[in-house]
A and B are shown apart, each in its own frame.
Chain A
Amino acid sequence: DGGITQSPKYLFRKEGQNVTLSCEQNLNHDAMYWYRQDPGQGLRLIYYSQIVNDFQKGDIAEGYSVSREKKESFPLTVTSAQKNPTAFYLCATALPGPRETQYFGPGTRLLVL
């Protein structure tokens, strides 16, 4: 099956802990994105990558880090510097180009203990 997988579905973070959210795709899309969604707010861009071994900060990158070592994978680490990490995190992929549609994974909900 072609698609985007995110794991885990739910993640619990203790104070001071770094946690990593997984995003894997087999759509052969070059571009991958991470968004954060909070109640009543639109999707806010954290990081994006147009090609392997390259990525750029989005609008709210502070407290987050990413890597893009493989085309299929774009993991997001929520560091202890992110003071308000509770949110729904969405990974998306797309073919290159501004007219291309983004396709989303099922999301990971991060909660703070």
Chain B
Amino acid sequence: EDQVTQSPEALRLQEGESSSLNCSYTVSGLRGLFWYRQDPGKGPEFLFTLYSAGEEKEKERLKATLTKKESFLHITAPKPEDSATYLCAAPRTGGSYIPTFGRGTSLIVHP
């Protein structure tokens, strides 16, 4: 069964304190790993797609990396406005168009 597991469930950081969020997956023949940011009461906002092991993508203070078993979202010198829930997702095994989503990591950055 396809599984996408995110850890930790919740993370509290001080402003400027860098850290990483983890997304591990058991999907066979990975065809993409997606990262989203979701603010309270809003729809998820697309951040990155990674397609192959070793690939990295950056946007402002965020950098996403991918290995054969997991992806990391690194947050460098975070600011309070980075507080949100971060979701990852991967298309299901077998050519499906449907992604399986993890439960998310809730990030709070204190000033």
Q: Which residues on A are within 8 Å of B, measured CB to CB?
A: 4, 6, 31, 33, 40-43, 45, 48, 50, 58, 88, 90, 94, 96-107, 109
Contacts and interface: CB of A to CB of B under 8 A. Distances in A.
Interface of B: 4, 31-32, 34, 36, 41-46, 49, 51, 87, 89, 91, 95-104
A99 B32 contact: yes
Contact of A102 (B34, B95, B102): B34
Contacts of A50: 97
B104 A42 contact: yes
Contacts of B44: 43, 90, 104
Contact of A99 (B46, B91, B103): B91
B45 A104 contact: yes
Nearest to B104: A42
Given A40-B103, A104-B44, A106-B43, A94 B97 contact: yes
B42 A106 contact: yes
A97 B101 contact: no
Given A107-B41, A107-B42, A109-B41, A98 B101 contact: no
Contact of A42 (B42, B95, B102): B102
Listed from nearest, the 10 A-B pairs whose CB atoms lie closest are A104-B43, A42-B101, A98-B91, A43-B101, A42-B103, A99-B32, A104-B44, A107-B43, A98-B31, A106-B43
